[in-house]
Every structure is written in C-alpha cells, then in structure tokens.
Amino acid sequence: MHLIIAANSETFSKLAADFVEQRVTDRPNLCLGTVTGASPEGMYRELARRHAENGLDFSEVRTINTDEYLGLPGTHPQSYRFYLEQKFFRPCGIPSSHTAVPSGTAEDTLKECARYEAFCRAHPADLQILGIGHTGHIGFNEPEDCFADKTHIVDLQQETIDANSVYFSGGEDVPTQAITVGIGTLMQAKEILLLICGASKAEVTYKLLCGPVTPKVPGTILRFHRNVTAIIDEEAIALVRERAPEVLQEYASGEK
C-alpha cells in the first residue's frame, strides 16, 4: 500500500483530485468506482471546479457506485444516487446513462444483488475510490466472521447507523440496511484509491495499517491488493504516528 499523508483537508482533497485527474487524462473512458460520504466530498468539489474552469473532461467516464441504502429511492436527498448526481455527476458533466448505483427500492432485492454483481464483474473498475467507516467497513461491508464475496444485503451496525444519522434530520428513520458490493467485487479493481480523513478515523486507521488482516476490520483486506494508494490526513494518521512510527517507516520504504 502506498501512503500519502496530507497536511490538512485542503491538501487532502487536492491530492485526491490530482490522482483522479491523472487517471482520467490517461484513459478518458476510465471505469471509475465511486463512493459517497464526507471523505470524498472535497475531492468531488475540486474535480467539478477543474471541469468548469479547466475543461477536465468526464464525458466518456463510466462510473459504478459501491452501495445504496435499502428503502431509499434515488430521488431521496439522502440516497447515494442523489448525493452522486448533486456532487459529482452533474457538476462534472457525466451523463446519468454512464452511471450505475444499486437500486435501494427493487422489489426483489436478491435479484437486484445478482444483477448488480453481474454488472460489476462485466465492468471491473480501472480505479476504485473508497473510504472507510468507523467499524472498518468498505463500501458497506460491515465486520463479519468472513469476507463477503459478492453484492449482498447488509444489516448496518449501530455505530454506522449513528454515524449516518447526522444526515437524517427531522425525525426521519435512518436506514438500517443497505445493498453493497462485496469485498470480492471490490478487490477486482485494477487500482484503488483509499481516502481517510479526520480525527474520528484515527483508531480505524491504526487498525487498518497496524492490526491483523481480518474480516472483523474489513478494510484490512486492502493490504492484500497489489495496487492501493491511501491518502490520509494528519488527524487520521495521528495514532499510527504515536503508537507505531516504525510501521509508517515500513510503508514509506515500500516494505509494507
């Protein structure tokens, strides 16, 4: 895993945008695995600015998102389809027909899982962007006894529901289930860009880089992927610096 440490949130988002810009420039019809959440927001904003001001072209890019809340239609303001349309697809000129997000309202959820899985396998991501949740989830793959291979329905952990509840105001029910691509689906990506920022991610970042590779912290599987770059800000890397500076050294020298 290649680590890039960002001094602050502005640098974090710029470095992430630089990374994506380079890949899109090299391959205009890139298949891009997208993710939602707070971590990539600044990057999407910066990419939108570069599209508007510098003509960064996304018109041939295809996207596949990792997950969607079960029960929310794509028109719901907290759905991941809505987030992506607002923050990435429209501001960057990506036609909806080039984008894929699992349906949270399919009548037959198992059929939807199979459909989405087949789609992902037919269009493996050239670059998969990921964040990590407090429980160590990637996509919405929560801690389990074994790594989930394919697209499936997941029961969200209470810690995840609590973290997501800040986005649901006015007494709305926070979804407790989601449809997510599997770990096996994610590991098919040719390249992965992992974005981690903020003090609340310091503990999980420590587990990610220094703990055992285990389905109890699903993101640790990324250490077995051969082409991962993690952009981590100073707040998130703080515990690793404090408790295991030698591990940072090993990552820097390419030993890990």
Residues that bind ligand GLP (CB under 6 A): 35-39, 66-67, 131, 133, 139-140, 164
Residues 6+ apart with CB under 8 A from 138: 66, 130, 131, 132, 183, 186, 218, 219, 221, 222
What's the min distance (Å) between Cβ of 86 and ligand GLP?
A: 15
What's the min distance (Å) between Cβ of 229 and ligand GLP?
A: 16
What's the min distance (Å) between Cβ of 54 and ligand GLP?
A: 26
58 vs 175 by CB, closer to ligand GLP: 175
Residues 6+ apart with CB under 8 A from 128: 32, 33, 66, 186, 189, 191, 192, 193
DSSP class of residue 211 equals S
66 vs 99 by CB, closer to ligand GLP: 66
Dihedral of alpha carbons 112, 96, 155, 216, sign: positive
118 vs 199 by CB, closer to ligand GLP: 199
Instruction: Give the whole-angstrom CA distance, residue 192 versus residue 189.
Output: 7
Instruction: Give the whole-angstrom CA distance, residue 76 versus residue 154.
Output: 20
Closest CA to 247 of 231, 6, 255: 255
Q: What angle separates helix 202-210 from helix 234-243, to the nearest 10 degrees? A: 50
223 vs 254 by CB, closer to ligand GLP: 223
What's the min distance (Å) between Cβ of 73 and ligand GLP?
A: 17
27 vs 119 by CB, closer to ligand GLP: 119
What's the min distance (Å) between Cβ of 201 and ligand GLP?
A: 7
